[in-house]
A and B are shown apart, each in its own frame.
Chain A
Amino acid sequence: MAAKKKAPKKKAAKKKSSTKKAAKKKTASPKKTVKKKAAKRAIAPKKIAPKKKAAPKKPGTRSAPARVEVATTRDISTREPVLTLLGISLDFTFQRQGEITATHFSAGQEVDEKTIGSTGRISFDTAKKGDVISINGAVAGDATLVLSRNTNPPSPRQYPEGGVFDNLIIL
């Protein structure tokens, strides 16, 4: 199976631009982690160092719509591309002030973390199906989160005044 996948990769790579090559590298990593996943069925908790202070980051700039990567997992027998939707945007609306930190996890690894201090958008460009977005923070009034992709639990999410703790699985 691995050999089957390797052959078409070369063909596809020739057609691709340099930017897509870069993307291929990114999307190739989950394949490796699949083996690791199987090995790590027994759960060993990952240690997360406590943060001294949540450094406020500026809200992420508006990202392009979710990209569709083709050919990274192309099946040679059918030649039907397997689509991998990349990226997710999180639109926060605060009725009063709020501060939320969103962390993108993929295969147990922290990919990216962004903090927002007012109504706006956070984007994770490499987020894909099966990844988890962890939401932590506090709001002084009601807050709403709308996601650009299907998640479990589904969007929109409502957070009442107080501490905010949520984890969203990308579907």
Chain B
Amino acid sequence: MRIRKMGLLLLVQLLMLAPLLAQKKKADAVLTADSLATGNYKDVLTSFFQLAFDNLTGKDKQLKFTSNPFAIMMRANPDLIVDTNYQRFRTLRNLNFGFNVKLDSNYKFNGFASGVNFAIINKRDYTVYKEFLHLVRANNEEYEILNKAVGATMSRLADPVLMNTLREQTSKLLNDKNFNYSKLDAQVKPIIDSIIKANNLVRLLQMINRDANVNIAQTIASEYEGVKESFKKRALWTVGVSDTTYADQFLFSNVVFSSQFLKGVYNKSNHNLELDLRGAYNLINDTLLAGRDLKRGLLNVEGGLNYVWRSQKTDLSFLEFKMSAAYMSILNGLYPGERKELFTLNGTLRIRVIDDVWVPVQFKYDPKTGNVFGLLNVKVNFSALKKAFIP
């Protein structure tokens, strides 16, 4: 019986994955920026589909589906992947919605949950800020001058062979990460050198003088990543509402109004420190009253710092550690003998196992009682599953 349920679950998972496998390759571009986001950021604002099995070790299992309207629209019409539409539907891209099917330990339906999350401020999205392009171009100023001067020189060359060689070599020098300055042809090198000197390209000249094997394309790529990095610590503020139904009745058992603010406070090479503030107001059933209602109100406030360690090669974060302090207050419907206020110190360690698979280990410490709680979650994104299925 249990095997049948597991099989059914796997089938549902594959059915959800199938359209993704069929979609055009260019739609993958959506994942590019997203896959660079930290796991914490991804939890707050998902830009593509996310499937998560929460509380794998607990009694209450959840099958979660999160997306945004733009991702759905794009699946229906891949032609939407143009900058004009990308900008036009910016609001839709900042809106996430999710459905969550709860299962009990026997994988039986145990309730339904849904939620909407909207980014009021999303300054991390470098794909929409013109400032980002201006910063990149300011960094690339000397390379652009070099390339333009090569274009001018090419246009007055009588020898078509030399003209083409100059074009190819310059393109490799500026775009090919496996090509370095010392590999330039003997007839092209003097042209490049004279252009650098004539235009007084000081940075380039210094780079070449320092190391003849300098990889200029790699330097350009690193500088680009540096600008992107500076955007990753910018502010992100989201607000959302979510609800949960009863297992036996489509009636809200829980409604949560929440808000979260993230901002990088320290950023040095591959180490980042991020401020994470979140608050929630939870409305749940007051079991002391007859019938089902939402009269019990709980306020949760949490503030902490999230440390992110990124790989220097891929720029993907592979370890995150979050320390936070949480305060909970029961504003309505306090039960007899229950503490009205609760203060805990929390720690969450998240390790990226493979590309999009995170293993978070969470600890909670209550200073008043001395209790320590632990919980294990595994989050899997669709892209990881997709990669696993496509050779």
Residue B332 lies at the interface, judged by CB distance under 8 Å to chain A:
no
In this complex, what residue of A is CB-closest to B216?
A165
A105 contact from B151, B174, B194, B220, Cβ within 8 A? B151
Size class of the contact patch on chain A: 35 or more
Contact A134 B133 (CB under 8 A): no
| Among candidates B134, B144, B153, residue contacting A45 with C-beta atoms closer than 8 Å | B153
B residues within 8 A CB of A96?
Answer: 29, 83, 86, 127-128
Residues on the A chain within 8 Å of B126, using CB: 140
For B129-158 the 0/1 string (1 means CB < 8 A from A) is 110111011001111110111111111111
Pairwise interchain contact A132-B155, C-beta atoms closer than 8 A: yes
Binds B, one of A14-22, A34-42, A64-72, A81-89: A34-42
Cβ of B147 and Cβ of A165 under 8 Å apart? Answer: yes
- Closest B residue to A162 by CB, please name it: B224
A122 CB contacts on chain B under 8 angstroms: none
* Chain A positions 90-149 with a Cβ under 8 Å from a chain B Cβ: 93-99, 101, 103, 105-110, 117-119, 130-134, 136-138, 140-142
Residue A167 interfacial (CB < 8 Å): yes
In the complex, the chain B residue whose C-beta lies closest to that of A54 is B137
Known pairs A105-B151, A138-B137, A152-B164; A97 contacts B83 (CB<8 A): yes
Report B25-50 CB contacts with A as 1/0, cut-off 8 Å: 01001001000000000000000000
Q: How far is the CA of A93 from the CA of B81 in the complex (A)?
A: 10
Q: Could you tell me the distance in whole angstroms from the C-beta of A76 to the nearest C-beta in chain B?
A: 26
Which chain B residues border A51 with CB–CB below 8 Å? 141
Contact B132–A107 (Cβ < 8 Å): no
A46 to B152: give the CA distance in the assembly, Å. Answer: 7
Chain A CB within 8 A of B82 CB: yes
Which of A47, A53, A98, A133 gathers most chain B CB within 10 Å? A47
In the bound complex, residues from chain A placing their C-beta under 8 Å from that of B32 are: 141, 161
A167 to B172, CA, bound (A): 11
Contacts of B220 in A (CB 8 A): 162-163
Cβ-defined contact, A140 with B132, below 8 A: yes
Q: Are B82 and A93 neighbours in the complex by a CB distance under 8 Å? A: yes
Q: What is the 8 Å Cβ interface bit string for chain B, positions 188-214, against chain A (1 contact, 0 not)?
A: 000100110111000000000000000
Cβ of B159: which chain A residues have Cβ within 8 Å of it? 41
In the complex, are the beta carbons of A165 and B171 less than 8 A apart?
A: yes
Assembly CA distance A105 to B144 (angstroms): 15
Cα(A97)–Cα(B83), bound, Å: 5
Asked if residues A37 and B174 are in contact (CB atoms below 8 Å), the reply is no
Closest to A159 in B: B175
> Could you tell me the distance between the alpha carbons of A120 and B32 in the complex, rounded to whole angstroms?
24
The verdict on A1 contacting chain B, using a C-beta distance below 8 Å, is no
Q: Tell me, in angstroms, the Cα distance from A169 to B163 when the chains sit together.
A: 9
- A134 & B153 in contact (Cβ 8 Å cutoff): no
Query: Is A47 touching B198 in the complex (CB atoms < 8 A)?
Result: yes
B144 lies within 8 A of A136 (CB): yes
User: When chains A and B are docked, how far (Å) is the Cα of A37 from the Cα of B153?
Assistant: 11
Contact partner of B154 among A38, A99, A109, A132, CB < 8 A? A132
> Is the Cβ of A97 less than 8 Å from the Cβ of B133?
yes
Contact A162 B154, beta carbon cutoff 8 Å: no
Which residues of B3-39 are within 8 A (CB) of A? Answer: 26, 29, 32
Using Cβ atoms and an 8 Å threshold, which residues of chain A touch B145? Answer: 48, 50
Taking a contact as CB atoms under 8 Å apart, the answer to whether B155 and A106 are in contact is yes
B137 touches A110 (CB 8 A): no
Closest Cβ–Cβ distance, residue A55 to chain B (whole Å): 11
Instruction: Tell me the minimal C-beta distance from A98 to chain B in angstroms.
Output: 7
Complex Cα distance, B164 from A132, in Å, reads 11
Give A147-171 interface residues, CB cut-off 8 Å to B. Answer: 152-153, 161-163, 165-167, 169
Are A167's CB and B158's CB within 8 A? no
Q: List 29 A-B contacts (CB under 8 A).
A: A37-B156, A37-B158, A38-B158, A43-B191, A45-B153, A45-B197, A50-B141, A95-B83, A97-B83, A97-B130, A97-B132, A103-B151, A108-B152, A108-B156, A131-B155, A132-B152, A132-B154, A134-B151, A137-B144, A140-B127, A141-B83, A152-B164, A152-B167, A153-B167, A162-B224, A165-B147, A167-B154, A169-B164, A169-B167
Residues of A at the B interface (CB closer than 8 Å) are 33, 36-38, 40-41, 43-48, 50-51, 53-54, 93-99, 101, 103, 105-110, 117-119, 130-134, 136-138, 140-142, 152-153, 161-163, 165-167, 169
